[in-house]
Structure 1
Amino acid sequence: MNIVLINPPHTAIGSRVPDDHLPPFGLLALGGPLLDAGHQVRLVDAEFGPMPLAVLVRDALSCQPDCILIGHSGSTSAHPTALRIAQMLKAHAPATIVIYGGVFPTYHWRDILAETDAFDFIVRGEGEATIAALIEALQRRQSLSEVPGIAFRDDLRRPFASQPAKTIANLDEYRVGWELIDHGRYSYWGGKRAVVMQFSRGCPHLCNYCGQRGFWTRWRHRDPRKFAQEIAWLHRQHGVELINLADENPTVSKKAWRAFLDALIAENVPVLIVGSTRADDIVRDADILHLYRKAGVIRWLLGMENTDEQTLQLIRKGGSTSSDREAIRLLRLHGILSMATWVAGFEDEGFRDLWRGFRQLIAYDPDQIQALYVTPHRWTPFFRIARDRKVIQLDARLWDYKHQVLQMTRLKPWMLFFSVKLIELAVQSRPKALARILFHRDPEQRHSMRWYTQMGRRVWFREVWGFLVRDRRLKDGPTLAEFWGAPQDQEEESMTVVRPPRKPAEAAAAISPGA
C-alpha cells in the first residue's frame, strides 16, 4: 500500500523557538516495519517552517496515498492540530484511510471516535506490530476486530476497541526507518546533527502523575551491543553527532546499561548522548560514572519534580532531596551536565513554598533547570486526586507542561507565573552558573551551556509575552473531571504484558514450598 506518515507542526514554544529540529522517532519506528512489509512509505515532517496546514495536506495527498498515519510525541497538546489535519484530509480525499496514534488517542479513543469521523482507526499502545497487522488486514480485507490494539467505529458507528496488543518483548525485532529522513535537516544542541533513539521502554517506578508509565506497561531494553552498533552506524553512515534518548529511565538495569556503555566505548565514535534518568540511579552508579562520560553522555535531565518532601510523597516520586543533591554533585564531578526539572502548580502551594523551592534549587546547584507546571492526564492516578480542581486553560494546545492549566488555592495565575519566571531567572543567572557558561574548562560543555542559555532566554521572553498578550485563562472554569471526563486510571495499562519465559531453575523455585 501507499502510506504517508505525518508529523504535525507542534504549537509548543519549545518546538517553535529553537532553530534545531529532531526527527519524529515514533513515526520512523512505524516506518521501518511498514517498509519491511513491502509498503511504499513517505514522511511529511511539518515541523519545518512550520508548514502551513493547507500546504501539508496538499503535500501528503500529492502521491494519492491509500493510508495516512498521524502521530506526535506531545500528543495531548498536538491533538487539536492533528484533528484539524485529519478533517482537512477527509474534506479533500474522503476515501483515504486516516490512522491516528500516540499516548493521548490511546486513552481518549472513545471520545475521539464519537466526536469526529476524521479518524478511521486509532492505534493504541506500541505501534510497530499493530500498524503492520492493521495494514495487512485492510489490504486483505480481513476482520478488523481480530487485530489487537486498535479502535474504530463498528457497523453501527459506535466506538469499538479490539483486545489490547501485547507488549513487544524483543525491542530489536523491529527496525527504525532511518531512510525516511534526510539526516542533514535534523539537529540539536546548537547545530549538531542529531537523532532520537530508545534504549528502553517503560519505567518500573510508580509516579502517579506520569503519562508514559502505563502506556509502555513494562520496562524492557534493547540488546546493548546492537544498540551501540546502531549508534556507531548512524555516525559513520549519516554523520550523526548527538543521540537524544527518548527513554523514561534508560538506567533501570545497571548491568544492561553498563553493557551498553562498554559496547559504545568499544565502537570508538565521537557521539554525544543526552537524555533523562532518575537521580537515585546516578547515585547507585557512582562507581561507573566515568564510563558514562567516556561513552559520550554529556547531559542528564533529572526528573526531580519538586523539592518538597510532602509533595514528592503525594506524587509517589520515590526519590529524595538528598539523592537529588548528591546526583548533581556526582555528575559535575564526572564532567556531565545536570538539568533539574522542577514542577509548580500543586493546589496548596503558596509564596512560602515557592521560596523554599527556590532555596532548594540554589542548594542543589544544577547546571540548568526546566520549570514546568503540573499537568494531569486522565489515565493516571493523579487525575483522580485532582479531579475536582478547576481548569483555567481550555486550549488543549497549551497542555504542554509549560502553561498553568489548573487553578490553585492560594495563588492567582499571575502570581504563580511571575514567581516561576523569577525563579528561573535567578537560578540560571546566579554567579556560579554564569561562571560555568563563560569559563568552563570543557569547550563542549561551554558550547552546550551557551546554546541552552540563548535558547532559554528566547523562550523566557516568549512565555512572558504569551502570558500577558496572547493566552487566555478562565476565572471560574469547569472541574478537571468535567473538562476531560471520568478518571481512567483503571485503564492505565494500555497493553497486555508479555513476560519472558522463566529459566527452569526459576520456575522450580516459584512452585517450591515456602516460595
Structure 2
Amino acid sequence: MKILIINPPHLSIGSRMAKEHLPPLGLLSIAGPLIDAGHEVKLLDADYYFLKNSQVVSQIITHEPDAIMLGHSGSTSAQPIINDITNAVRIIDPRIKIIIGGVFPTYHWQQILEQNPQIDYIVCGEGEEITLNLITALAKGGCLENTKGLAFKLNGVPIKTAPAENIKNLDAFRVAWELMDGYNYTYWGKRKAVVIQFSRGCPYPCTYCGQSLFWKKWRHRDPQLLADEIEMLHKKYGVEVINFADENPSSNPKAWRQFLEALIAKKMKLILVGSIRADNIVRDAEFLHLYKQAGFERFLLGIENYDEVVLERIKKAGTVSKDKQAIQLLREHGILSMATYVVGFGEERTRDFYNSLRQLLSYDPDQVQLLYVTPHKWTPYFEDVKDKEIILTDQRKWDYKHQVMATKYLQPWIVIIYVKLIEIIMQTRPSALKRLFFHKEARLRSAMRWYTRIGRRVWFWELYQFFFVTKLTKEKITMTEFWVQ
C-alpha cells in the first residue's frame, strides 16, 4: 500500500519560538515495520513547516496515498487539528483510508469516532505491531474484528477490539530514520538532532501522568544495540544531539550503566539531554561521571510542587531533600539541571506562589520551567478534579503552557503574573547570571545562552497571548461537562 504518515501542524508555543524541530519519533517508529513489510511510506511533517490545514490537505491529495496516518506527541492539543484536516480530506477523496493514533485517541476513541465519521481506524496503544497488522489486514481484505488494539465503526457503531499486548522486545521493530531526508531537524542551537527512546513506561504511580497507564510496563532497549544505532545516526546523518523521550530512562540502573559505558566506548562527540527522576540521580551518585562522559548536558527534573502534602496526594514519591541533592550532584559533575514546577495542583493563594519561589531559590537549579496542570481524563488525577470548572475550552491550547482549570482564590491574570515573576526572578538571580556568563565550560555557557534567548521570547509571547489573544470562557463548565460535549 501507498501510505503517507503525517505530523500535523501544532500550536505549541515552544516549537514556534525556538524555530527548531525534532523528528516525530512515534511516526518514524510506525513507518519502519511498514517499509520492511514492503509498503511505500512517505513522511509529511507539516509541523516542521507549520503548514496551514489547507496546505496539508493539498499535499495529501497530491501524494495520492491509499492511506494516511496522523499522530502527534502532543496528542490532546493536536486532535482538533487532526479532525479538521481529515474531514477536509474525506470530502475531497473518500477513497483514502484515514488512520490516527496516539495517547489521546487511545482513550477517547469512542468520542472521536462518534463525532468524526471521516476517521476510519484508531490505533490504541503502542503503534508498531498494531499498525502493521492493520495495514496487512487492509491489503489482504482480512477481518479487522480479530485485529487487536483497534477502534473503528462496525455497522455504524464504534467498537474496540481486544487490547494488544505490550511489545516485549523494543529492538524488534526499527525506526525509519531514512524518512528524515529532506528535513533539517535541529535542537540545542541549530545542531542536527533526533529523539531517542531507551525505555518505555514508568514504574511510578504519579496520578497526573498517563505514562504507566499507556505503556503499561517499563521496558528498555538493548544497551549495545541502542549505542550502535546512535553511532549510525552520528556517522550517517551527522546527528550531534540526542534528546531522550523517556520519562525515566534509568529505572534499571544496571542496564542504564551498560548503555552509558557502551556509548562512551564509541568516543563520539555528542550532546545528550533528557528527563530523569531526582532520586535516581542520588542513587547513581557513584557513577554520575559516566553520565558526563557519555555526553549529558542537561536533565529535566520534575519538582512539581513545594508542599509535601500535595506531593503525597499526587503520589509523586519524591522528597525535597533528594531534589536539592540531585541538583547539587548534577552541578558537581558539570551537568545542567532544569526544574519543572506545576501550577494548579493545589488551590494556590499568594503565599503559595511566594513559598514556591522560595523553594525554587533554595534548589538553585540552572534553569526553570513553569507549567500549568492539565488533567487528562484517563489519569487518576482526573477523578480529583472532574467537578472543577475550566476556563479554557480551546482544546488546541491544552499544552501545559496555558491555564486550563479555574483557581478558587486567584484570578487567571494574577496567576500568570505570579508565574512570570517567578520565572524572571529565577533566571535573573545572581547565581544564575554568574553561571550564564562565567561557567567554566564554554559548551554549557552556550547551552544556557541558547535556552535564555528562547525563554525570553516565550516569556513575552505568553503574556501577549494571554492578554490579547486567548479567549477564556465565562461560562461555568466543569471538567466532566467539557469532555461529554
**Alignment TM-score > 0.5, same fold:** yes
Matched, 1:430 2:433: no
Cα distance, 1:339 vs structure 2: 0.4
Q: Give the distance between the partners of 1:82 and 1:16, measured in 2 at CA.
A: 18
Mapping of residues 87-236 of structure 1, within 5 Å: 87-155=87-155, 157-182=156-181, 185-236=184-235
CA distance in 1, matches of 2:390, 2:116: 24
Cα distance in structure 1, aligned partners of 2:151 and 2:49? 32
RMSD, aligned CA = 1.0
Pairwise CA distance, 1:59: 1.3
The residue identity in structure 2 corresponding to 1:62 is T
Q: Aligned in 2, Cα 1:184/1:92: closer, same or farther, shift over 3 Å?
A: closer
Contact 1:387 1:481 in 2 (8 A): yes
- Counterpart for residue 340 of structure 2: 341
Give the alignment's TM-score, normalised by structure 1: 0.93
Match of residue 60 from structure 2 = 60
**Residue type of the partner of 1:141?**
G
Q: What secondary structure is seen at the aligned counterpart in 1 of 2:234?
A: helix
Q: Please show how residues 306-455 of structure 1 align to structure 2 within 5 Å.
A: 306-455=305-454
Q: How far, CA to CA, are the matches of 1:372 and 1:427 in structure 2? A: 15
* Residue of structure 1 in register with 2:259 after alignment: 260
Aligned to 1:498: none
**Displacement of 1:463:** 0.1
Cα shift at 1:116:
1.2
Cα deviation for residue 184 of structure 1 reads 5.7
Alignment check: 8 A CA contact 2:310 2:346 kept: no
Task: Find the aligned partners of 1:184 and 1:379 in 2 and give their Cα distance.
Answer: 34
Which letter does structure 2 place at the counterpart of 1:40? Answer: E
Q: Deviations over 1:156-200 (max 9, x none)?
A: x01100000110000000000001112761000011100001000
> 1:56 Cα shift?
1.4
Deviation at 1:475, TM superposition (A): 3.4
Preserved CA contact (<8 Å) 2:7 2:47: yes
Give CA deviations for 1:379-428 in whole Å, capped at 9, x if unaligned.
00000000110011000011100011001111111111110010011001
Query: What are the Cα deviations for residues 115-155 of structure 1, in whole angstroms up to 9, with x where unaligned?
Result: 11121000000000000000000011111010000100002
**Structure 1 residue matching 2:389: 3-state secondary structure:** coil
Which whole-Å CA distance do the structure 1 matches of 2:241 and 2:322 have between them?
A: 28
CA distance in 2, matches of 1:119, 1:441: 54
Map Cα deviations across residues 50-84 of structure 1 (whole Å, 9 max, x no partner). 11222211112212110000000000011111111
Question: In the TM superposition, what whole-angstrom CA distance separates every residue of 1:347-401 from its partner, at most 9, and x where no partner exists?
Answer: 4211111100100000000000110001100000000000110011000011100
Bigger relative CO (Cα 8 Å, ≥ 6 apart): 1
Partner of 1:237: 236
Q: Distance in 2 between matches of 1:99 and 1:402?
A: 28
CA spacing shift, 1:184–1:393, aligned 2, 3 Å:
closer
State the 1:304 CA deviation: 1.3
- Give the whole-Å Cα distance in 1 for the aligned partners of 2:328 and 2:338: 12
Higher mean Cα deviation, 469-478 or 23-32? Answer: 469-478
Which blocks of at least 5 consecutive residues in structure 2 are unaligned?
none
In structure 2, C-alpha distance between the alignment counterparts of 1:271 and 1:333, rounded to whole Å: 20
Contact 1:345 1:416 in 2 (8 A): no
Alignment partners' CA distance in 2, 1:356 and 1:215: 34
Amino acid at match of 1:186: Y
Question: Displacement of 1:49 after TM fit?
Answer: 3.0
CA distance, structure 1, for counterparts of residue 204 and residue 134 of structure 2: 32
Matched residue of 2:126: which SS?
A: coil
Cα distance in 1 for residues equivalent to 2:277 and 2:27: 27
Q: Is the 8 A contact 1:347 1:407 kept in 2?
A: no
TM superposition shift of 1:307: 1.6
Q: Give unpaired runs (5+ residues) of structure 1.
A: 487-515
- Amino-acid identity (%): 52
Equivalent pairs, count: 485
Q: Structure 1 residue 211: deviation in Å?
A: 2.4
CA distance in 1, matches of 2:421, 2:182: 38
Q: Structure 2 CA distance, aligned partners of 1:260 and 1:349?
A: 42
Deviation at 1:212, TM superposition (A): 2.2
TM-score normalized by the length of structure 2: 0.99
Measure the CA separation in 1 of the matches of 2:285 and 2:346: 36
Secondary structure at the aligned position of 1:428 is classed as helix
Mean Cα deviation higher: 229-238 or 475-484 = 475-484
